[in-house]
Structure 1
Amino acid sequence: MASTEGLVPITRAYLSSYYDKYPLVPLSDDVSTLSSQIHSFIADLKTHTPLTQAESLVVDEVDQEPPHKIDANMWKNREHIEEIIFLLDRPNWPATLQQQSKSGDVELAPIFDQLKVKFESTLKTLEYFQSKNANSVFNTVMTYMPQDFRGTLIRQQRERSERTKQAEIDALIKSGGSIRDRYALLWKQQMERRRQLAQLGSATGVYKTLVKYLVGVPQVLLDFIRQINDDDGPMEEQRQRYGPPLYSLTKMVLTIRLFLHLMWTRFDDRKMTENELATLEQAVDIYTSEFERFIKFMGEVFANSPFFISADEVGATDSRTDDFKEISIPAGKNHEVVLSVDSINSYIAWDFSLEQSKVKMDVGFSLEYTNSSGEKTLMLPYRRCDSDQGNFCTVLAGTYKLIWDNSYSTFFRKTLHYKVDCIPPVVEPAQE
């Protein structure tokens, strides 16, 4: 657990000063110029043949303002890059194009294949960027969590949550869901992750139990993760400073996707002109190069941002908090703690150690379960040790007895420092 002594959550003013060190080189003027040219092509295609309902949805999206938040734009770009890759896949070309693959003396197939390769490369860069940042945020949170079973529980919950989310995506794909459907689900899952982070920050749900009964989670960490995604929080400075160029790129990729879609559905009746083809090639070159440049720049900004301070930079501290109890166990006696568990898959958690002396000291420890019929089961076998930090086990409903046994000792009284808690099942937060 990293020390938080003397730290306070980042503020927007602080980030403003920090971002002054990271000015973004403006986007190429070609972004707006080429986007406008493609818009004119789209207008011509719309007058050639009436729009379908599906096409009208994309047109409406192009005409709307992009999302305000950075990550929403990243997901929007990723969705439409995949839509473009789908259109540029040869089996999805118009029948006439698949048969002829020529426009005058120009071979079209190699051109469209190359455009697809560029978008595939950009997609990989974006996926890596998103994965790296997601892990960075989570690892930052875990760096400042007490290094006991609380951190383990949250890691297990995250792993289980991500497996569940991936299973949902796999099921959607298997059922024939579209790219649009898949990204609607991906964004819903992203919002779910935000709610989980906010839960931890505001101490609600299962995390309320963790914070209430098992103190030691630094308040500065809770404040940080509660406000990190607020509309008016510190990250608003990032949106104001770096959002506008990203919004332009979001509009551009939507425009390219719409143009290709309309061109494909009208290709048999209206061939692509040389000017349209040349403009499309330029637009893809500019979009992929500028978007990758933006992603790499933001990756550098994130990697060095003050809210990603490493544990090595701030040092380490003992995770023991003053919520530990102390008991003196006389020779020949036991100390017992009884807990009642109401919910299946709850957790019994414990953390204990003995006050050491010149003589080697240990204590017997075991965990006993009694069901509703009064039958007893030894959950953990008896063993002798001098400590057991941050341990836990999943249990059924019933009564549990943790036993520290000093009955074998003839002379020595043992001083035991311990804390024991019952934690409800770690569950997914309810979806909206």
Structure 2
Amino acid sequence: MASTEGLVPITRAFLASYYDKYPFPPLSDDVSRLSSEIASLIQQLTLQSPPSQGEASLIDEANRQPPHKIDENMWKNREQMEEILFLLQPSRWPIQLREPCTSEDSELSSIASHLKNNFDNALTAMISFQTKNSDRVFSTVMTYMPQDFRGTLIRQQKERSERNKQAEVDALVSSGGSIRDTYALLWKQQMERRRQLAQLGSATGVYKTLVKYLVGVPQVLLDFIRQINDDDGPMEEQRERYGPPLYSLTKMVMAIRVFLTLLWERYDTFKLNKDQWNLLSEAAIVYTSEFERFVTFISDVFANSPFFISADTAGILGSREKEEYKEIIVQAGRTYEVSLMVESENSYIAWDFSLMQGKISMDIGFSVEYISASGEKTLILPYNRYEADQGNFSTLMAGNYKLVWDNSYSTFFKKSLRYKVDCIPPVVEPTN
């Protein structure tokens, strides 16, 4: 393995220097102007008819400062777009727009349809950004992993984890969960990814040694992921640089959502005039175009950001084969054991071993045991005799495991064993 001497975790100062090359062109002045005018219309609606308890809660949320984290704001914008698109479904329109009796109502119905198209396009851009960013991060992480059967296991585990998360969301929606409920769950899942990331970076003892030495993650990466989400860590520079325009867009989309919610409930008594409809239409156009511009910009920045040391810099993992394998002599009549501490459920234990004896007695007994806190042993993988084996199993519980190579049946022949063993934790992703 190429030396990592001299490498340090990416710091806030490093990112500050990098971001100097990527200034974000300021938002259009129309964002603040239109947000203020929408706020005035909201005030008129609430004076005309006091808000219900649910409307008051929504207004309070819109008046609060947006979340500080970039990714939480992204989810918040996506949630509000979905809420707006729900309101803009023709079946949700006031009856005067659904069944227009005048040319003016027909024209307003057309404006409502165009609003929906704008938000459909912005939501598509949002989803594409989140998907591509997640895939990019995972691909970057995978460059640090050995390119053998373990990489396949990690990919399978990632796919299984995401399927489980999606099934959880689907079940919520099927049971009648609201858009708000759905996004609360999505953010909870995102925070769980962040928690697992912090745990991986802070792992100690045998677990940390296995992750670093056997799985192939350099210490510099473990240090980085441990402190990436610190309050004053690297991501804080990103938030200070690119947070303010995103916060303005979050406030704007919240205002549009609140306005539509109040308007639909009061349409019979507070019918917008043509100028006010045009203002709403302009606000939707400006928000969606500016949001799509921001997402395109930030996507390019993220795609090139040096959040991880490159595989080339850290040393190509293929050169580690000799270091990854250990060799041990198992004397006749003896056993050899490797102990593992598994800290997270749904981890994998994986192994790859072969005998180098040569010509005779080319087999050795092999089994895997689980050892409880009280010392009780449970056979997880039954004893069998092998010349070589590659295998894995998903752990049913966290705790101590023991891999046992048994040469006790042999009276004369020692066995030269070449092996590597990994404990592969659940795949996690950094967040911003």
Range with greater deviation from structure 2 (61-70 or 297-306): 61-70
Q: Residue deviations 1:273-304, cap 9 Å, x none?
A: 11111011111111111100000100000001
Quote the Cα distance in structure 1 between the aligned partners of 2:125 and 2:378. Answer: 58
AA at the equivalent of 1:364: D
How far apart, CA to CA, are the structure 2 residues paired with 1:91 and 1:168?
28
Instruction: Name the structure 2 match of 1:337.
Output: 336
Number of the residue aligned with 1:182 = 182
Q: For each residue in 1:384-406, what CA deviation from the matched residue of structure 2 results, as whole angstroms up to 9, or x when unmatched?
A: 34xx56x4235789986434699
State whether residues 333 and 409 of structure 2, in contact with CA within 8 Å, keep that contact through their aligned partners in structure 1.
Answer: yes
After superposition, the Cα gap between the structure-2 partners of 1:61 and 1:346, relative to the gap in structure 1 and judged at 3 Å, is closer
Greater Cα shift, 136-145 or 299-308 = 136-145
**Contact 2:158/2:427 (8 A) holds in 1:** no
Cα distance between partner residues in 2 of 1:400 and 1:78? 47
Whether the 8 Å CA contact 1:354–1:361 is kept in 2: the answer is no
Q: Secondary structure at the match of 1:307?
A: coil
* Shift in alpha-carbon separation, 1:269–1:347, aligned structure 2, 3 A: closer
Q: CA deviation at 1:249?
A: 0.6
CA 1:364–1:182 in 2, change beyond 3 Å: closer, same or farther? Answer: same
Q: Work out whether 1:21 is the aligned partner of 2:21.
A: yes
Across the aligned residues of Structure 1 and Structure 2, the Cα RMSD in angstroms comes to: 3.9
Q: How far, CA to CA, are the matches of 2:37 and 2:160 in structure 1? A: 47
Which residue is 1:259 aligned to? Answer: 259
User: What secondary structure, in the 3-state scheme, does the structure 1 residue paired with 2:307 have?
Assistant: helix
Q: Where does the alignment leave 5 or more consecutive residues of structure 2 unmatched?
A: none
Letter in 2 for 1:27: L
Give the AA of the match of 1:367.
Answer: F
CA distance in 2, matches of 1:200, 1:394: 18
- Say whether 1:87 aligns with 2:87: yes
Separation of aligned partners in 2, 1:307 and 1:370: 39
Among residues 377, 383, 387, which one is paired with 1:384 in the alignment? Answer: 387
Contact 1:22 1:301 in 2 (8 A): yes
CA pair 266-361 structure 1, distance change in 2 beyond 3 A: farther
Give the residue type in structure 2 aligned to 1:222: L
Q: What pairs up with 1:110-121 in 2 under 5 angstroms?
A: 110-121=110-121
Contact 1:38 1:280 in 2 (8 A): yes
- Give 5+ residue unaligned stretches, structure 1: none
Give the aligned partner of residue 290 of structure 2: 290
CA distance in 1, matches of 2:304, 2:346: 40
Give 2:207's aligned residue: 210
CA distance in 1 between counterparts of 2:378 and 2:45 reads 78
Please, which moves more after superposition, 90-99 or 302-311?
302-311
**Mapping of residues 185-200 of structure 1, within 5 Å:** 185-200=185-200
Q: What is the one-letter code of the residue matched to 2:139?
A: N
Measured in 2, the distance between the counterparts of 1:94 and 1:64 equals 29
User: In structure 2, the residue corresponding to 1:351 is in which secondary structure?
Assistant: strand
Q: Which residue of 2 aligns with 1:73?
A: 73
For the residues of structure 2 that align with 1:339 and 1:96, how far apart are their CA atoms?
A: 74
- Alignment CA distance shift 1:189-1:178 (3 Å): same
Mapping of 1:320-331 within 5 angstroms?
320=321, 325-328=326-329
TM-score, length of structure 1 as denominator length? 0.82
Q: Aligned equivalents of 1:233 and 1:50: distance in 2? A: 44
Residues 50-65 of structure 1 mapped to structure 2, 5 A cutoff: 50-65=50-65
Identity among equivalent positions (%) equals: 56
> Is the Cα contact below 8 Å between 2:366 and 2:386 reproduced in 1?
no
| Inter-CA distance 268–221: structure 2 relative to 1 (3 Å threshold) | same
Distance in 1 (CA, whole Å) between partners of 2:370 and 2:61 is 59
Spell out the pairing of 1:223-262 with structure 2 (5 A cutoff). 223-262=223-262
Q: Is the 8 A contact 2:108 2:277 kept in 1?
A: no
**What is the one-letter code of the residue matched to 2:32?**
S
Aligned equivalents of 1:222 and 1:87: distance in 2?
A: 45
In the alignment of these two chains, the number of paired residues is: 415
Could you say what secondary structure the match of 2:336 adopts?
strand
Residues 168, 407 of structure 1: alpha-carbon distance in 2 compared, 3 angstrom cutoff: same
- Structure 2 distance, partners of 1:56, 1:406, is 77
Separation in 1 of the partners of 2:377 and 2:82?
60
Q: Counterpart of 1:134?
A: 134
Matched AA of 1:210: Y
How big is the shift at 1:131?
1.7
* Alpha-carbon separation, structure 2, partners of 1:276 and 1:168: 41
Give 1:114 shift. 1.7
Displacement of 1:11 in angstroms is 1.0
Superposed displacement of residue 89, structure 1 = 0.4
Identify if the C-alpha distance between structure 1 residues 193 and 375 changes in structure 2 by more than 3 Å, giving closer, same or farther. Answer: closer
Native 8 Å contact 2:347 2:425 kept in 1:
yes
| Residues 1:416 and 2:420 aligned together | no
Deviation at 1:308, TM superposition (A): 4.5
